Structure 1
Amino acid sequence: MPKRLDIRLLAPSGYAEDRAACQRAIERLQAAGHTVHGGAVVDRVDLRFAGSDAERAADINHLANPDHPLPDVAMATCGGYGAIALLDRLDYAGLKARFEDGRCVLVGHGDFTVIQCALLARCGVGSLHGPMLVQDFGAGYLRETTWRHFWQTLQGPSMDVAWACNENAPALTLEGTLWGGNLSALCSLVGTPYMPRVEGGILYLEESGEQAFRIERMLYELLHGGVLATQRAILLGGLGGQRVSEYDNGYDIDHALERFGRACGLPMVRGLGIGHGPDKCTLPFGAVGTLEVRHGQAMLAAHDYRHVRQTAGA
């Protein structure tokens, strides 16, 4: 049974369309013994966003205010779009000072990737790439694998995940800084001060609903933008939702990744359960991890990351 925690909700992107899922998630967290704060953010709607830019940035900057106690966890409600508009409004100095003692950890994925990258780049604050309130904890069927791995990673001194990967993945044993997230969100930061400069990284990527040629194009954006020059390996999670048209002449996501793999020269390991899929692991964004690949099986682990409060590679 996980320790009882204070959880504060953040809504930096789209609004929570499924209110029943919000309530279901909050009730599940409360039933597990946790206290959930900030529930009012799920009721805010401004166009397609969960409030104005100022309101959504204030949710995050609230964590930087020393007059307010920090929660144990600050969790994104859902993704969508909108977090990028907040990056020049965040109190990076205040967030750095508050997160230095390791009392709070942020968690999310998808559009939340831009917040995670900005915090690592600007003030060395790590986070967790993991489940969110609505689509994960509020799902009609709660995935036990997702639930269990989140609490294990959040509260334990180490994490590991094993999966069956592509059979043509090369044999690997390497160490590097774990970071990444949603592919389109990452590409939106190329050439900006909010993209972390990670040396010797293990870059994990996921995307949903983008056509194969768009995924290939975004991967080239990371390559030509210099991001991949300092990476040791690429881990690929869910890349579903593509449609193959008659014009494609059979070109699909497998062709796109094969073509790009030849161009970038980095080992690419597929099948990691992250992002928009129903079953997902939780990864310490900014921590040092180890990757081993043998005979179509992969293992990723990280130790002593202390919820990535003291990050490496930023």
Structure 2
Amino acid sequence: MALIYVYSPSGAVRDRAGLRRAVRRLQSAGHEVVLDEATLARHQRFAGDDETRLQAIARAAASGADVALTTRGGYGLTRLLPRLPYDAIDAAARRGMAWMGLSDFTALQLAALAQRGTPTWAGPALLEDWAGETVDEITMACFDDLVHGVGEGAGWRLPPADLRAHPDLQRGWRLEGATLWGGNLSIVANLVGTPYLPAVDGGVLFLEDVGEHPYRIERLLTQLLLAGVLPRQRAVLLGAFNRYTLTPHDRGFRMQTVVQWLRAQLPGMPVLTGLPFGHVPTKVVLPVGRPVELVVEGREAVLFWG
């Protein structure tokens, strides 16, 4: 099984019982789990001050683990980007370490890709996915495929609205050799205009977010649109956008409204929804910074990278 190094690069761990439960679950699956010495550190809302978290990332890079797994997201990595140990992160990835996480971890992933071309993995985080009452079987199967070196792709079923919006896809569609990249929409948009946003042309951009009302989602997408990021892609994949509350003031403005608006801004480009990724129990593991093949056959969409 895998050696998993757990560290906290962003927000402070608040659920210590959940962390212990999550570690036991990984161990019961046969994995060896090593907790970084500052996993439970706290400074304000962060998992230790900036220097503490930078040192934790450096220790993860030097650990020789198969997987470097974040405890949680939150906020904190963006302020570290000018000082991240990019060479050490890249060297560990090239040796076979899977840097894995989601949410705030998007900042490290995209910065490492922009600065060194480092491939990483978007996937589960310790507290998000192992600390609850149950563990999602699909999420764990995707994680196990990765650590066993047999993960080759991920598929999902498109909603009927996607095929109505893109009738040409019903005959089948294939895209090869496009770089898969993206992650949390707020982080991606906030990196525009910085040296930490990868300059990916002709890529497949996947996005998710949590706790953001649909109008805020549209505003973030507008930032990517006006900055020229979206028009340079060949496909956009939308994961989960959840944990927000609509109000009577919205008068029918909802997430589907945003999707329809986005498609109108990107005529001819597939904008596909339902990607099982984000702050939801069921999530696939996605290779960030690697070339993929995207295939649509009817309502079945599949990403291949093996």
Give TM-score, length-normalised by structure 1: 0.89
Shift of 1:98: 4.0
Mapped contact 1:234–1:267 kept (Cα < 8 A):
yes
Distance 1:69 1:156, change over 3 A: closer
Is 1:11 aligned to residue 5 of structure 2? no
Give the share of equivalent positions with the same residue, in percent: 38
Kept in 1: contact 2:99–2:120 (CA 8 A): yes
* CA spacing shift, 1:292–1:103, aligned 2, 3 Å: closer
Query: CA deviation digits over 1:180-219, x for unaligned, max 9?
Result: 1110011111111000111221111111111010001111
Displacement after TM superposition at 1:160 (Å): 2.1
Distance between the aligned counterparts of 1:144 and 1:63, measured in 2? 27
Q: Which amino acid aligns with 1:145?
A: I
How far apart in 1 are the matches of 2:219 and 2:52? Answer: 34
Amino acid at match of 2:54: A
* Cα distance change of structure 1 residues 156 and 294 upon mapping to structure 2, 3 Å threshold: same
Q: For the structure 1 residues 22 and 39, does the alpha-carbon distance in structure 2 shift closer, same or farther, using more than 3 Å as the test?
A: farther
2:70 to 73, 76, 84: 76
| Residue 261 (structure 2) aligns with | 259
**Structure-2 change in CA distance of 1:153 and 1:98 (3 Å):** closer
| Alignment partner of 2:285 out of 254, 270, 282 | 282
Question: Could you say which residue in structure 2 is the equivalent of 1:310?
Answer: none
Cα separation, 1, equivalents of 2:284 and 2:201: 24
**Aligned-residue CA RMSD in angstroms?**
1.6
Unaligned runs of 5+ in 1: 304-314
* 1:144 paired to 2:137: yes
Question: Is the aligned partner of 1:156 residue 2:149?
Answer: yes
Q: Give the distance between the partners of 1:134 and 1:179, measured in 2 at CA.
A: 23
Q: Which moved more, 1:236-245 or 1:209-218?
A: 236-245
Per-residue deviation at 1:299? 1.6
Supply the AA of the counterpart residue of 1:174.
L
Runs of 4+ in structure 1 off by over 3 angstroms are 39-42
Aligned counterparts, 1:221-300, within 5 A: 221-265=223-267, 266-300=269-303
CA contact (8 A) 2:295 2:302 kept: yes
Paired residues, number: 296
Q: Confirm or deny: 8 A CA contact 2:93 2:119 kept in the other structure.
A: no
Report the counterpart of residue 53 of structure 1 in structure 2: 50
Work out the CA distance in 2 between the residues paired with 1:156 and 1:84: 30
Query: What CA deviation, in whole Å up to 9, does each residue of 1:35-65 have, x standing for no partner?
Result: 211244332111111110111111112345x
Report if aligned partners of 1:21, 1:135 keep a CA contact under 8 Å in 2: no
The answer to whether residue 193 in structure 2 is matched with residue 191 in structure 1 is yes
For 2:105, which of 101, 104, 112 is the aligned residue? 112
Question: 3-state SS of the aligned residue for 2:240?
Answer: coil
Deviation at 1:103, TM superposition (A): 3.0
Separation (CA, whole Å) in 2 of partners of 1:237 and 1:37: 31
For 2:240 and 2:13, the matched residues in 1 are separated by 22
Residue from 195, 214, 218 that aligns with 1:216:
218
3-state SS in 2 of match to 1:181: strand
Letter paired with 2:201: E
TM-score for the superposition, normalised by structure 2: 0.92
AA of the residue aligned to 1:146: T
Paired amino acid for 1:267: P
Contact conserved, 2:5 with 2:63, CA < 8 A, in 1?
no
Q: Deviation string for 1:116-175 (max 9, x for gaps)?
A: 001111011111100010110222101111111111133334422222213234313112
- Aligned-partner SS, 2:292: strand
CA separation in 2, counterparts of 1:88 and 1:38?
A: 25
The corresponding residue for 2:117 is 124
Conserved 8 A contact 1:87-1:118: yes
Distance, in Å, in 2 between the alignment partners of 1:206 and 1:215 is: 9
| 1:207 alignment counterpart | 209
- Distance in 1 (alpha carbons) for counterparts of 2:235 and 2:252: 27
2:34 and 2:186 mapped to 1: Cα distance? Answer: 30
In the other structure, the counterpart of 1:36 is 33
* Structure 2: runs of 5+ lacking an equivalent: none
Partner Cα separation in structure 1 for residue 89 and residue 279 of structure 2: 28
